[in-house]
Structure 1
């Protein structure tokens, strides 16, 4: 899940079920060398297009095979995949928001990569939460493609004006609230913090890491039971609720549904707030001296929501050897450092978190180092339960932040569990 795709829907067509009964084994293995001049099609959503094209361009420049990338609007992408699955005409490769990985793997949309991935030398260094997300019943169906992490941004200029040390970001969630209150005292159009209060995806992306950092869970391991009615979750909501009720969080936080979230931080009037790591350049481009820190628990710890996309081979491709040649290359040091890190992206390999490009900016080292510490929610019915605007999670969020918090979490936990268990 990344905030850029928060509003899309993903009602899978009946074709997914049809494909699942016919494509579990993928296409026949082609003969000949893997890099034999084959043209491969790759689909991606608009949010990930630039990274997918960068991978493809670099691969194409050094290989006989050629990868052709087609991007679709975020909102339309799941339906496009469903239609292609029903027609048994999936592309050779397709990327998907990581929170959809378990769903697509369980429905047989991707070819089984278990043996190939097991033989990949650096498999243990691949983003662990992404690998888990693309695993179904012990089999691997996709590999990490892009990484987007939730982090804490703070305005060093506002920190200095408020008498805070710009070199010392919050190390606990309570300290985050204290810093926000201190900055808010500057008055005028300055506010201490900001959050997406009408955006289920925004809240899960930025508040769940505080629960994880405190040792709590949001879902059980199988993704069929919610655990949001916990003391850890209640504490996190209570802290953000108090910041809003006391006017420390900008008033627009209550109705923020995602589209204007970045713009609010770019205005240079927010002291400290969580957000996607991919916003670092956009904030700096506005002249903000922005610092980056991990999201913490109430009394310490740190974690992150490991979002982004996974990439797998379409189950109906028939070009698995050639497609794997591309997948394996994207996981190589050449691609991870020369393409991803060079463009200030987050490497999908934990052993390359510190590299020749990130070492020039300590903020990037901080971001990259969180990949091994973060989590990606695992559930077959994640979208309908959490990301969809009609999901029980958004109703829970609204109640916990602006209504009857105790009732919201208790009733929300039951409703979300029911949704997670839908067939």
Structure 2
């Protein structure tokens, strides 16, 4: 797949210079591809845009696991859609491979450019040029069961402000006994662990990668300390035993069951958990002694490099970041706005938890690495082996060996 993508870079770069003349909203039909996980939001954007513009957006969604190959095939055939979104961790790779058109000048002209999610903007930047903008945002937060907090004698309105307090709260809830557990985590899921544990490393002032995404820093004192917290909670039985085998599919269900006290997880799960009758509190993910951060996930979107409708496509992208779209499409659906200046708006202000979540966009990070997916998300990559060793084996040796293997993977051509 990499070879095929690399082979078409020059062709795509040439296509970026295609004719972009004509009025931006002139009745053009634009194709937009997205992965299934983002389909609902993409269609909500399209429906609202189509209702107020002459241009029309046609959304096509593909299964998450098939989507990268679908894009690679389209790139090889020089037939990318006019617009396509992708998991934001793929953004540096796609930008480097020339799959998106350069939108640097258009982005610079936005009056609100400085408030667009900075970590997403960075992810879509390659060699100083902007190729993608935020499409959807998903954040990692602490989700806690208010009923279990009350039963354990904890204040449901006072979540932990340090990872040390997190362990204290989890242990106290675990003492309720029965089938109740203090916490839960995805111990057999590389993506789950990076999404929920890395923010504690960042909150403590540490990092996981260097600025260029070519060298790992997973053998740092901060990373070792965070892994030690979860390792101890598992060894002591405070974390559910099922945490060791959790590969992702049943992660949400464990929190919906109402038997887990507090656990880091995706902010988008808030409604899904409450739908099962669990009253949920939300808090930032802290470091060992304080601070707070989040993994700014979600999807980035750009203009397909082979599109001949770049001006019309940018009209749509600029509109999706406007006050109208972010408040009446995203915030109205309880989503996270892609702009930091809209964290508090007429919809989110009705629920203080949403204001808390939205405010984390400016404080979090999106890891930047061209080979991120193969290194960290692929179950066959070096990260999951590192995770398993750090949580359930020889932690020191796992982090040291993992750092070397991850760096090697990051530098793979």
- TM value normalised by structure 2: 0.99
Give the 3-state SS of the residue equivalent to 1:370 in structure 2.
helix
2:325 matches 1:335: yes
Q: CA deviation at 1:16?
A: 1.1
**Counterpart Cα distance in 2 of 1:187 and 1:129:** 41
1:159 Cα shift?
Answer: 0.3
TM alignment of 1:12-411, pairs within 5 A: 12-25=1-14, 26-411=16-401
Displacement of 1:275 in angstroms is 0.2
Output the CA distance in 2 between the equivalents of 1:268 and 1:150.
Answer: 19
1:84 Cα offset (Å)? 0.2
Query: Within 2, Cα distance between the matches of 1:87 and 1:410?
Result: 42
Q: Secondary structure at the match of 2:214?
A: coil
For the residue of structure 2 that corresponds to 1:339, the secondary structure is helix
Structure 1: runs of 5 or more not aligned: 1-11
> Structure 2, unaligned stretches of length 5 or more?
none
**Offset of 1:13 from its aligned partner?**
4.5
Q: List per-residue Cα deviations over 1:74-95 (Å, max 9, x = no partner).
A: 0000000000000000000000
Q: Secondary structure at the match of 1:103?
A: helix
1:24 shift after superposition: 1.9
User: Which secondary structure does the structure 1 equivalent of 2:361 belong to?
Assistant: coil
Secondary structure of the structure 2 residue equivalent to 1:369: helix
8 Å CA contact 1:153, 1:293 repeated in 2? yes
Q: 2:409 aligns with which of 408, 412, 419?
A: 419
Q: Distance in 2 between matches of 1:21 and 1:366?
A: 44
1:288-336 CA-partner distances (Å, limit 9, x unpaired): 1100000000000000000000000000001000000000000100000
Aligned residues: 412
Distance in 2, matches of 1:273 and 1:110, equals 37
C-alpha offsets along residues 142-180 of structure 1, whole Å, 9 cap, x if unaligned? 000000000000100000000001110000000000000
3-state DSSP class of the match of 2:12?
Answer: coil
Give TM-score scaled by structure 1 length: 0.97
Q: Take 1:253 and 1:132, find their aligned partners in 2: how far apart are those partners?
A: 33
> How many Å separate the matches in 2 of 1:280 and 1:303?
18
